[in-house]
Structure formats: C-alpha cells, structure tokens
Amino acid sequence: MRTFCLAMVGVVLMAGVSGPVSGGAINQIQSGGRQNLGLPGSGTEGKETNDPLSEAHRLEQQEAARSTERQKRLVADTDKLLALATDLKQQVDKTNKNTLSVDVVKKAGEIEKLAHSVKERMKG
C-alpha cells in the first residue's frame, strides 16, 4: 500500500511539473501563427489560389490549432488526475491498515487509466 501511495505521489508530481513546461510551447505556437490569417481586407477573400506558401501556412495554422487543443486536453486531464489522487489519498487516510475499500481500488484503477492516457498523449 505504501508503494502504491508513493507511486500516486510521483504521478501527481509529474503531472504538476509538465503543466508549466508545456505552457511555453503554446505561447510560441500562438505567436508564430499570427501572420496572414486571411482576414477581410487582406486581399485573399473570394480568390482560389494554389500558392504553396498559402497552403503551407494553412497547414501550419491547422497544426497550431491541433496542438493548442491537445494542450488544453492534457491540462484538463492532469487537473482531473490531481483531483482523483487527492481524493484517493483522503480515502486511504480514513481507512486503517487492515482495511482496503472497494471504492479505493476503483479510484486507483481510474487514476491508473487516466495516467496512462495522459502519458500516451504526451508521447505523440
């Protein structure tokens, strides 16, 4: 049980550290994608162009949007992971050393699944 608690603390610490590091990446992506947005008055409305530069720019904007959405999802999931781990800790603190609640086991399984999901999304 002690090993499990230590593992959960490690997951929570890892989730807390990953948030601020990846926040800087969002700012870089957002600042880099603000050049020609095809706004009214920019001379691109109603024109069908096959310009490779505009296509590359469009792809870059799509990638930035996907990256921003991915980051938002990671932040939300790590926040949920922290809340679940905190709740689990409180439940474990309420039990004695000879008792293991079914709710505690379910909560630990939920944390494990969410942590695995976050880890996989961080990889790719």
Cβ burial, residue 6 (10 Å; 0-12/13-18/19+): exposed
Contact 118, 55 (CB under 8 A): no
**Residue 23 placed within a domain:** no
Evaluate whether residue 26 is within a structural domain: no
Is residue 95 domain-resident? yes
Query: Is 97 a domain residue?
Result: yes
Does residue 47 lie in a domain region? no
* pTM, rounded to two decimals: 0.52
- Total number of domains in the chain: 1
The tokens describing 45, both together, are 């409305």
Which pLDDT tens digit goes with each residue over 91-112?
988 888 888 788 889 999 999 9
Domain span at residue 74 reads 1-12+70-124
Report pLDDT digits (tens) over 5-35: 555 556 555 555 455 444 444 444 445 544 5
